[in-house]
Structures are given as C-alpha cells and as structure tokens.
Structure 1
Amino acid sequence: MAGSALAASLIGGLIGGLIAGAASAQQTDAPPRAAKRPHQVASPNGARNDDYYWLRDDTRKNPDMLGYLAAENAWADARLASLTPLKTRLYDETVAHIKQDDGSVPYRKHGYWYGSRYQTGADYPIVERRKGSVTAPAEILFDQPAMAKGLSYFSIGDYAVSPDDARIAWAEDIVGRRQFALKVKNIATGRITTDTVANIEPNVVWADDRTVLYVEKDPVTLRGYRVKAHVLGTPATTDRLLYEEKDDTYQMGIARTADDRFVCIGVQSTVSDEQRCAPVAGAATSPAAFAVIAPRAREFRYHADHLGGRWIVRTNRDAKNYKLVTIADADMARGTAGWRDLTPASDTVFIEDFRPFAGFVAVDQREGGNRMIRLLTDAGASQAVKADEPGYRMALDVNEEPDTPWVRYTYGSLVTPTTTYEVNARTGERRVLKVAPVPGYDPAKYVTERVWAPARDGTRIPVSLVHARGVKRDGTAPLLQYAYGSYGISMDPGIDPGRIGLLDRGVVFAIAHIRGGQEMGRGWYDDGHLLNKRNSFTDFIDVTRYLVAQRYAAKDRVAAMGGSAGGLLMGGIANMAPADYRVIIAQVPFVDVVTTMLDASIPLTTFEYDEWGNPAQKPYYDYMLGYSPYDNVTARAYPAMYVGTGLWDSQVQYYEPAKWVAKLRELKTDANPLLFRINMEAGHGGKSGRFERFRQNAEWQAFMLQQLGVAG
C-alpha cells in the first residue's frame, strides 16, 4: 500500500469512531479499546467465540482495524514520551559499540575473493568481489545503500553467481512479507536484465550459465511448493516446472552440492525429509533427472552432500541425535542398504551440521549444551577444536572450496566477541582471521557463567549468564531472562552491542536453554513440543525461580523476553506465573495458537502440525487450548508488558498480538502499563537496516529499565 493511501486509511479509521475508545484515548488518558464483535470459530471439536476476530484483515486495508492499530501506536508514543532521553542514550551507546566501516572476512570461490563492507552511517553493506587477490580492484556486486534508497524496507535474501562468473542472480524483498522477486544482472556492466519472477522463496541456484532455478510460493499460504527453471531472456510464464510438492506439510529448498556436480531439491517437515538430486548438466531441462536419495518416511530425517565419489549423509536413522553415513556412488542404487556409518550413534553428542572436505569432514555438533567443531579424517582420526570458556558457541563459517586442509569457523560467548578462525585439519594449527571489533568494550569487565537449574520434574536446565564484574550476588540485581524453546532451534551465547548498556547498568542477562530447543540433543526437543509443550513454559519459570533463589536477582526485578515462538512462551508465562515477572517483552508473539492452527490458509500452518499438533484432532485441540495465551487471558493482574509486531509479518500475522492485547486490555485487573507497538512498514524481523534494529530495541529497553527501577 502506498504511503499516502495508508495515511488516509489510518486517519479515516480514527475519525470514523468505529473503534471503541480509540478517538477518546488521547483526551481521557485511557488506553485504546477495540470493539467487541462476536464471531464463532468453527472446529471439528466445537465452536469458540472470538470477540476480536474482526481485527484480522488479510488485505490490511480495513479502516477500523488500521484505526485501532494507529490508536495503539499513539498510546505507546504518549506513554513512552518521557523515556525519549533514555531511549536516545541507549541507542547512542549501542552505536558507539559498532565499528561503522566494518567489513566481512573475504572468502574464495572460483578464483574470486568475496566480501562485504559497510560505509560509515550506512544501514546496508556493499557486496563485492576481487579477482585473484584480496588486494585486487573490487567489482561491486550490490551497492545496497543505493538499491535501498527511498524504500522503507529492503532485503536481499540470497544471491548466486553464474558458473561462468559473468552474472549474478538474487532474491529481493521490498515489503517485508518474505515474498521475494528474482532479479539478474550482468556483473561487468551492472545492467539489470528484464528477467524477473515474483513471489519466490529467498533461494536461487544456477543450473548453467543461462538458467536459474528458484522456488515458487503459493500466493495464499506463501508455502514454497514448486521448483522452476528460468532461462534468461524468456518470459516467466514459460519457466519449466521441475518439481511440485503436493503435501502441504512440507517446505522446500534448493542447493548445489559441495563439489558443484549436483543440484538438489530438499523437502522437509518437522519429522521427515526427502532429497532428490540431478547432475548439473540435466537439472535445468529434465525433471526425470532428479533421483531420490532415500524416500520419505515419518520420523526419518536426512540431508546429503557430495564430494570425492561419495555421498555423505546426516541422518537420524537408528540415531536419535543423528550420525553421519557415507554412500559410494556405485552403491546408490542399493538405497539405505548401501549406507555405511561414518560416526556412531550417541546419546550425548548431537550432530548439528557437517561440511565435506577432501580427506576429512568437519562436524558441527553439540555436547553438554555447547556447540563445537570436530574434524574427522577419512582414516577415522577425530580431533575436537578447543574452547576455553564454560559456555560458548562454535559454528562452521563459509567454506566454499573443499580442496583445502583449512576449515573456517566462528567462536564466541557472552563475553568474547565473535572471532573467525581457521584450523588446519592435518596439523592442528589454528589462526585468527578476525575478531569482530566492539569499540569501547573490555571483556575483562564482565563475567560469564554456566549454571544448571532444576526443573520441577527433576530435569537440569542449562542457563548461560553474563553480568558486569562488580555486580554482587546478593539478591538485589535486576535480571533479563531470554529464551525461545521451539522447532529444535537452540539459543547460543554471543555478544550483542545492544546488550552492553544493560550490563553496564547492573542488569544480569540469562539465556534459559529450555526444552523445545536442541541444546541437549533431539530428546530435548521431543520433550518440549506437541503434547510436551508445557515443559517449555515451566522450564522458563523454574529457571527464574532458581536464579532468584540463588540470589542472582531480586524477586521483584525480573524481566522476561521472547520473540515469535518465544513470544508464545511469553504469553504462556504471563498466564501461568504473572507474579514472577515485573515486566514482559513479547516481540511478534505467536499467541493465538488454536485459531491459527485451524486455518490452513495462513502461512506456515500446515508445516507445523508436527510442532504444535493438528487441532482438528481432539487430544491436540484440548492440549493446545489449555496453553494458548489468547484463550487463557483471564481477569487477573498481569506484569507490565511491551508487545511488538509488524503489519506485514508473514510468519506471525499482526492480528495475533493485536487480538491478545485487546483481550488483555478488556480483562486485566492491574494498573501496570501495557504497550503495543505496531511497525506499519515491516514484517517478522522488523524494519530492515543494521541500525534500525537497535533503534527499535532501545525503545523496549528503556521501558524495561524503567519498570525494573534501573537508573538511566
């Protein structure tokens, strides 16, 4: 929607008087109140009334809805006005910890060194390459500051250079709804071709010098479901269909193998994978060229890569925490009977990822709650890369050329800036390529710990902590506790420039590695989803109570924060243990679980039946209804709350938090502030640009510090 039209809709909504209390909020000092309009949400297990269902508008043009959101933004502006100086200080302090003209560590591919660099004050980087040497003249691939000029949102999701190194294809989003467009340009001339394809995933792969493969999205559900081949210079309407996924519980992606010999289409659900690969020569023209590595089956997951006459596969077949197997090219026709174990199954080591090299494999794994790297030679020798802190994160970095003994990886912790290393798999030599600069930061001023909090069922929950060295463990400090706890996504420790100002003000920061992630292996995830989802909520609450009991924090100075599925966590603890928290920050929160999961037209719903359950089935319906934050709001006292969303969010639709806030305003019995910030020009990740994130963060940080009684 054009900016002027959006403004007109907002004004019309405010003047129309159709939102109860919206127009009078600024005059009476009362918060906005959304009108109640009874609506029956049907399901196979009975109907439920939803008074705020009308706030859903898929066109995002309804003046009543837009008027209510505008009133909420105006209310937040008014309540936060006095915090403007603190907000400004927090933002300025954060920016002071950022090296504004920083650049990435260049990596080599096909004789070119690729990298990116920021100019001082720029929100977006310049992406470039240099032929033969890092000191050669730069070819500009993307001048993103220029590309983003005049746009309220800009993102390049993926890019790929053609095999002849002459052209570059990329996926571009200028709305924030993750509906990308394919674009192509000639690198030498900078001329953008007429080739464009709308509504694709941020995933592009070249099959040959003239053909780009992409994943087309369903226009309603936004599910990537078709792989197509676009030949340069031809209309998109003639693009060849290479594969269509009929099962709407699967999503897909495309990639080349490490040796560039195959193009693979991978489809995945929560509990199943299937991968089909074709030699590069036939990938663009023949759907029949794609052969399935192993057919899909429930509770069978795998991912395959190819190098040196063999396939290497990460799989959970007979290994809950995954293992690596190999398949000789000659044995592919035998299926899984031709698989040979490269690593054993383990109850304590979870294999997260891998990268094949000539003569060895770099394994990205988890053990004891930490993510680490292990190097495994073809001869069977194993070498772990050393770490020196109790809580840390290692991860494989960009390794585009497999014919080298040097493996690039990153290391960081809650006090150690992200450091890019490379280690020699033959000699063990390790060298630092770059320490991410953090101006004005001294790691010696801070302390990090790893503690284990007992959950109510006896499970020990790992917790990563950081605080300034002078903070006393005497039960008086303020605490910010963060977690995610869904989809098997693990939250690893790392430095955030926007967190340093909080630490310097005496705030203790904790990451609760709750069940629902995979920090402790696949069983950790299994114990935190479907009919075990409540464990995620109770784990978080039990970590809070443990940290308070151990005098890391004051009982009445605890803040909780989570976003997306972590926002569901925030909604859950707000209903289950509101007295344990002084303030809750919920960003883009997934809080209307049952209604959303009943609607297969909503993006992501069908992918996630194996994450949350399908509420068409009564056991799941009853269980989900028992914890869904929106459905469990009652007349009670709630903590102070800051809720954020984006109007164009495609992952958690804006109307979920809008309905939740409206219901909280109706029923909550306390006088604690409830603020709802709606970004009208952004999606799930907020506005684009490297500084904009910190500007948005400074607002909720200022609000949180005020509620915790922390001096500015």
Structure 2
Amino acid sequence: MKQTIFPSATPPVTEERPVDDTRHGITRVDEFAWLRADNWQEVFRDPSLLDPAIRSHLEAENAYQQALMADTEVLRKTLFQEMKGRIKEDDSSVPMKDGPFAYGSSYKKGGEQPRFFRTPRDGGTEEIILDGDHEAEGKPYFHLGGIEHTSDHKRLLWSFDDKGSEFFTLKTRDLPTGEDLADVITDTAGSGVWDAGNTGFFYTRLDPNHRPSKIFYHSLGTDTADDRLVFEETDPGFFMGVGGTRDNRWVMIGINDHETSEYRIIDAATPDAQPRLVAAREAGLQYDLEEGGDIFFVLTNADGAKDFKIMTAPVDNPGRENWSELVAHEPGRLILSVIGFKDFMVRLERKDSLPRIVIRDRADGSEHMIDFDEEAYSLGLSGSYEYDTEIMRFSYSSMTTPGQVFDYDMRTRERTLLKTQEVPSGHDPEHYVTRRLMAPSHDGELVPISLIHHRDTPIDGSAPCLLYGYGAYGIAIPAAFNTNILSLADRGFVYAIAHTRGGKDKGFAWYEDGKRQKKTNTFLDFIAAATHLVAENYTGHDRIVAQGGSAGGMLMGAIANLAPDAFGGIIAEVPFVDVLDTMLDDTLPLTPPEWPEWGNPIASVEDYRTIAAYSPYDNVGAKNYPPILAVAGLTDPRVTYWEPAKWIARLRKLKTGDNPVLFKINMDAGHAGASGRFSRLEEIAYNYAFALKVVGRDKTEAG
C-alpha cells in the first residue's frame, strides 16, 4: 500500500479502563467503554455537562487531526470557494400554490439558513413569514424543523433544534403581526398538524431517551401543561409520528418499525375524538395511507406483495377486511410512494434500478408514464398543497444534469419547466461522462454502480476514485446532480456510487438480502464494486477512497476490516461502528426500533453471534489499515459520539503500519453536522481534502 505523507504529530493515547460484558456465556472486554458519558441524556440537552476527562480526550483528537491536516488549509479554502461558487446564494424555490397564496423558501446572499415566504397566488409582493438567519442569531448550531401554515393562512407552526440533539421546540406565529404566541412546546419531534378549525394542533413528544412515545393535542392559548394525551405507544421498538392530509380532513398517527406498521386516524374537524384504528399491527405487514376523497389509497405488502401493491379502503370503515386491490403486485417493480388527487393518482416506482412516475386517471383507470432519456437519473415527487388540482410537481436530475423542477398537467400531459438549478460559476454537462456499470459480486449478483468523471480523465487505471456507499434500511442512493463532487471530477477523480444490497435499488428483495443474517452481502457488494472499477480500468485499489455515513459509516468500518488493501483511504462520517454494544443497550434512542433491521442480540444468541462477526469495533485487528478519517457530532442521538471515538482508539492500538487514523468531532453539532449551508461546505471541503491527500492529488488544481 502506498504510504501517504502527513505532517509529523503524536496521536492521542487513549487511557484503557477495561470493562467485561458477558452475554449468552460469551465475554467481551471493552477497554474504551469509559468514553460513553453516563449522563449522555443530559449532554444532548446541554453539552457543557460532558465529563471533563471525555471532553479533554475529544479535544486532543481534534488537535491531532488539525495538525495532520494543517498542510491542506489552502486546499480546503480553495475547495470551499469552488463549491460555494456553484451555489446561487440568493436562490429561491418555485412557490407552491395553496388557496389565495403561494408558499416557498429562499436564501439571502450570504445567508446560512432558509427564509420562508409567501406571495399572492398569481404573483405579487413577497412576504417573509420566517427568517431562519434571524432566528439563528447567536447560536452555534441552529436547524429549522417543520413549517406548517393553517388552512385559513393566519398562523404558522414552526420548530427548531439549537443543540443538534434533535429535540425540537415548537412555536406558533401569528402571520398578520409576525409575532410568536405564548404557545411554546419543547422536546418534540419537530412537526405538528393543525385541526380543521385551526384552533389547535397535534404533535409528538419525545421521552427522555429521545423516543417518540406520545401524541398530544394543544389548544391555542392554553397552558401546555394541560395538553391532552391523544395516544401513547408503549412498545419502545416502534417509531411514531403524526401527519395530516392536504384537504385538512384527516389527522393520521403512523406507528412503525422497519417491518411492521399501523395507522390510527382522527377526523380533523373533531380533534377531541379518539383515534380510530385502521388495521392492527401484524408482524411483517406494512402499509401507508394516502387521501383519496371518500377512500384511502393503501400502499401495502399484504398477501405476499413483496414489492408492494396499491389497494383502496372506504374512509368510513377502512379496516383491512374492506381493502380492495387497485394496482396489482408486480415482482421487480417496487412501488415507493403514492399521491392522491381528486381525479388522479400518482405513484413513484422503481424498476430495473431506475425510478419512474406513473399517473392513473381515477375515472377510467387508464395509466401513462412520464418519459426520460438519460441512462441514469433521479426523480422526486413534490406533490401539491392542494388536493383538487390537475397539476402535479416533480423534480429531475442526473449526475450531469442540474436539478429541474416541472409542473405536469395530468390531463393534457403537458410538462412545464419551472426552474433549472443555476450553477453561477458555470457548468457544461458535455464536460462530464456518466455511466451505469454492473459489478459481479461474490455470489453472482450484479451490483449497480453509477459514476461520473470529467470527459478528459484518462480511463487507463490511473485515475483516483471516491466510491460512496450506504446499503441499509432499504434506502436507495439516487444518481442525482451534486455540484460538490465536481471539485473532485475536475481534479481527475472518478466519483462512483455502489448501489449495494441493503438498499431497495433493485427491489425489496435487494433490501432483504442485505440485512440481519445477510448483512455481509452489503460489505462484499461494496468490495466487488471497487474490484470491478479496477477491472474496468477506471482506477487502482490504492487510489480508491471509500466514503459512507451513519449506516454507511458502519459499511466503511466493515470493509476496512475485510479488505484493507482494497482501498487507499476511508472516510467514515458519523459511523455506526459499535453495532453490538449499541444493539445491546436498550436505553439508547434507536436501539429497540432497530432490532428488526440488525437483530436483537439481547434475546437471541444467533443475532449476537451474527452482529459480533461483522461489528467494526469488535473486529479491529493487527492489520495495515489505509488512512482513515472518522467524523462525528457530540450531540448526535442517532450515532453517539463514543462509537467513532472508541473505534479510532482501538484502531490506533491494534493496527500495523504507519498510516494515520483521524477523528474529527464537531462539539456544536449532531448527526447532520454543521447546520448552515456554507458551514456544511467547510466540512465537505475537509473530507475532500483528505481524499485528495491520501491519493496524492492535494496539489492538483481543478481542470
């Protein structure tokens, strides 16, 4: 493996305080368990409460990574300016119509946070109804949550998180005056739903362990301590949230884990009514509800519909016994979502690894698709604020085509381009090549790879490559336009996405083949993608930098253990690397709801052994690892900071060779990193500078 030149610096030596843990007769020793703060719940709310010894260690890690990356300071500033130059600083969304107004969001030049505005429906003077930059003043971290206006357009429900811990505070704003009311609620999930009369709203309260366990109703002008408990979920293994329909007719309480779902509904005109069960939870049964006037559209996997089908249910009696099939299950065609309109139904589906939009006329059942020309692309449904409309909005992009927003007339089939993403510094799609490859994996399955490179980049095996992967929760990574990666492409990189098992890129079975007992398929698919890129002469193993975040960060830890020689460097963002310990700790926010995804090692020795066999932290060994960068946030409730902190400490203890491992922790942020759009670019510039450095391109100018 090629040796990378980093400035000389002494890494922190992490104190060892061994702790034994015995489960199912198996004993493990964790020498770095002390890095987990005993008062982690309090730290999420107030980071100043962190144990001084832990804080001192994290600060030493930051000092070390700063020393090793000091010689990239100019490069990082250059990358930041390049990426910032591709952002239209005063960008604005296309307003979406709702009654007498059209609502949208925008940024002011130099602004970090979005502003929300409205105009008269058919154009006119813009009214700023919420200024994120103003609300963020004086806060090291600030993230806006849900924004929901009332149907009479007089009030706004909005939320924010100012710690990065995802405990959101809900506020209510009087739109005519612009003043916030006294109705303030803390510790929420970040959104709410107005009742039909706009006299109050439903919201989700988080418990001390950050779980969404209760739905409350708040009547405007009353003491929040008197809010009525609407529903409580007592099973910690289920997520819960509350939403509404565009016609303001229904309030929907959705309850789910990764395999099972359940809905309860309330007539929005009678907010005091008890929630009505639609179909009781049944292990493995998933369904989603969408409004349809006198019916609900039901997207479900019932009756063996692995890739889902669409059924209908009467709103007055929507139990499963009354579901009727509308769109049959078709193996290999995964239906992702449904939007109902008065005269049409729209579905987003994926077939042959590509998304497509299908419009159905509700009167005669006829269907048509919207056609697209490129080899690989990304689609998104924006829907509408309005239910009684024939206009549907969608977005389109590819790895070379900037994002486009269209209004589509579902009756005339006329497509109207409303906006094309502007790249102020310039972008010519003809300068880049995008491809779709299929990599043979260990068992013969073909793993899709989406890639982009500059047209002048030689495909002779000499190019460096950044290979991105995720592969969990059924999430498919789209082949979408990303202005940031152009800074790598312009420096001769091939940027590639490995669509590994664990996502739903090739249908629901692709997801099932990358979870629980089959989780190692995800790792082997990623390694196969790297091998195929080398075989196809796009790059060399010592020039591939692997990157992934969260569950994708766990992928990074696993491939580091399995095939350290296959990569020239690894970037693990908020990496879920201490999988076994986390799944054994049922007090952590996400552990019980995550058992269907990873397995329950508390109850099952088989699950324990499965996870122990691949958990990155538990499988660090005496290997010559490539340079590794781990990035995390102190107040992250999803992947707690101590996971990467422990992982890096054990890597340093056991690894061979001289390649450094770095840990960069944001002491003022959580899972998503820095909250401002430009401060986030600084973090990306840092990661890219690391990638450029480990492949020896840190002195290369953009072409």
Look up the equivalent residue of 2:337 and give its one-letter code: D
Look up the equivalent residue of 1:701 and give its one-letter code: Y
Look up the equivalent residue of 2:241 and give its one-letter code: G
1:308 deviation in Å?
A: 2.2
CA distance in 2, matches of 1:72, 1:209: 51
CA distance in 1, matches of 2:607, 2:289: 33
Look up the equivalent residue of 2:111 and give its one-letter code: A
CA distance in 2, matches of 1:611, 1:196: 35
**Where does the alignment leave 5 or more consecutive residues of structure 2 unmatched?**
1-6, 44-48
CA distance in 2, matches of 1:615, 1:166: 51
1:330 deviation in Å?
A: 5.3
1:382 maps to 2:367: yes
Counterpart in the other structure of 2:534:
548
Contact 1:254–1:265 (CA under 8 A) maintained in structure 2 = yes
Look up the equivalent residue of 2:216 and give its one-letter code: K
1:583 deviation in Å?
A: 0.4
1:123 deviation in Å?
A: 0.5
CA distance in 2, matches of 1:480, 1:275: 42
Q: Please identify, of 511-520 and 421-430, the stretch whose mean Cα deviation from structure 2 is larger.
A: 421-430
Secondary structure of 2:374's aligned partner: coil
Counterpart in the other structure of 1:37:
17
CA distance in 2, matches of 1:709, 1:38: 39
CA distance in 2, matches of 1:29, 1:302: 54
Contact 2:290–2:338 (CA under 8 A) maintained in structure 1 = no
1:31 deviation in Å?
A: 0.6
1:129 deviation in Å?
A: 0.9
1:107 deviation in Å?
A: 0.2
Q: What are the equivalent positions in structure 2 for 1:648-663 lying under 5 Å apart?
A: 648-663=635-650
Counterpart in the other structure of 1:536:
522
Counterpart in the other structure of 1:109:
98
Look up the equivalent residue of 2:9 and give its one-letter code: D
1:471 deviation in Å?
A: 1.4
Counterpart in the other structure of 2:464:
478
Secondary structure of 1:282's aligned partner: coil
Contact 1:45–1:621 (CA under 8 A) maintained in structure 2 = no
CA distance in 2, matches of 1:423, 1:170: 30
1:507 maps to 2:493: yes
Contact 1:258–1:356 (CA under 8 A) maintained in structure 2 = no
CA distance in 2, matches of 1:236, 1:647: 30
1:613 maps to 2:599: yes
Counterpart in the other structure of 1:303:
288
Change in 2 beyond 3 A, CA 1:228/1:97: same
1:94 maps to 2:83: yes
1:404 maps to 2:393: no
Look up the equivalent residue of 1:568 and give its one-letter code: M
Counterpart in the other structure of 1:166:
154
> 206, 211, 230: which is aligned to 1:242?
230
Secondary structure of 1:342's aligned partner: strand
Look up the equivalent residue of 1:476 and give its one-letter code: S
Contact 1:393–1:411 (CA under 8 A) maintained in structure 2 = yes
1:274 maps to 2:262: yes
Deviation digits for residues 609-633 of structure 1 (CA, Å, limit 9, x no counterpart): 0000000210000010000000000
1:139 deviation in Å?
A: 2.4
1:257 deviation in Å?
A: 1.9
1:163 deviation in Å?
A: 2.8
1:331 deviation in Å?
A: 5.0
1:251 maps to 2:239: yes
Contact 2:146–2:191 (CA under 8 A) maintained in structure 1 = yes
Deviation digits for residues 243-281 of structure 1 (CA, Å, limit 9, x no counterpart): 000111111111112322111101011110000111112
Secondary structure of 2:694's aligned partner: helix
> 69, 85, 94: which is aligned to 1:80?
69
> 444, 450, 464: which is aligned to 2:430?
444
Q: What are the equivalent positions in structure 2 for 1:108-187 lying under 5 Å apart?
A: 108-135=97-124, 137-187=125-175
Counterpart in the other structure of 1:464:
450
Contact 2:564–2:623 (CA under 8 A) maintained in structure 1 = no
Look up the equivalent residue of 2:609 and give its one-letter code: D
1:455 deviation in Å?
A: 0.6
Deviation digits for residues 556-607 of structure 1 (CA, Å, limit 9, x no counterpart): 2111000000000000000000000000000000000111111111110011
1:44 deviation in Å?
A: 4.0
> 186, 191, 195: which is aligned to 2:183?
195
1:63 maps to 2:43: no
Look up the equivalent residue of 1:446 and give its one-letter code: Y
CA distance in 1, matches of 2:343, 2:488: 46
Secondary structure of 2:327's aligned partner: coil
Look up the equivalent residue of 1:354 and give its one-letter code: V
CA distance in 2, matches of 1:130, 1:45: 66
Deviation digits for residues 156-190 of structure 1 (CA, Å, limit 9, x no counterpart): 11021123221111121111100001111111111
Counterpart in the other structure of 2:658:
671
Change in 2 beyond 3 A, CA 1:118/1:593: same
> 327, 330, 334: which is aligned to 1:346?
330
Counterpart in the other structure of 1:496:
482
1:210 deviation in Å?
A: 2.0
CA distance in 1, matches of 2:552, 2:270: 43
Contact 2:352–2:506 (CA under 8 A) maintained in structure 1 = yes
Look up the equivalent residue of 1:53 and give its one-letter code: A
Contact 2:447–2:529 (CA under 8 A) maintained in structure 1 = yes
CA distance in 1, matches of 2:530, 2:418: 38
Deviation digits for residues 87-117 of structure 1 (CA, Å, limit 9, x no counterpart): 1111111111111111001001122110111
CA distance in 2, matches of 1:86, 1:247: 50
Contact 1:258–1:305 (CA under 8 A) maintained in structure 2 = no
Q: What are the equivalent positions in structure 2 for 1:557-572 lying under 5 Å apart?
A: 557-572=543-558
Contact 2:403–2:481 (CA under 8 A) maintained in structure 1 = yes
Counterpart in the other structure of 2:400:
415
CA distance in 2, matches of 1:677, 1:425: 49
CA distance in 1, matches of 2:81, 2:111: 15
What count of residue pairs does the alignment treat as equivalent?
680
Secondary structure of 1:140's aligned partner: strand
TM-score in terms of structure 1 length:
0.94
Change in 2 beyond 3 A, CA 1:330/1:654: closer
Contact 2:333–2:351 (CA under 8 A) maintained in structure 1 = yes
1:703 maps to 2:690: yes
Secondary structure of 2:171's aligned partner: strand
1:45 deviation in Å?
A: 4.4
TM-score in terms of structure 2 length:
0.95
1:528 deviation in Å?
A: 0.3
CA distance in 2, matches of 1:29, 1:513: 37
> 343, 347, 370: which is aligned to 2:354?
370
Look up the equivalent residue of 1:37 and give its one-letter code: R
Counterpart in the other structure of 1:432:
417
1:361 deviation in Å?
A: 0.6
CA distance in 1, matches of 2:621, 2:317: 61
CA distance in 2, matches of 1:556, 1:256: 51
CA distance in 1, matches of 2:25, 2:207: 28
Counterpart in the other structure of 1:213:
202
Counterpart in the other structure of 2:4:
none
1:448 deviation in Å?
A: 0.6
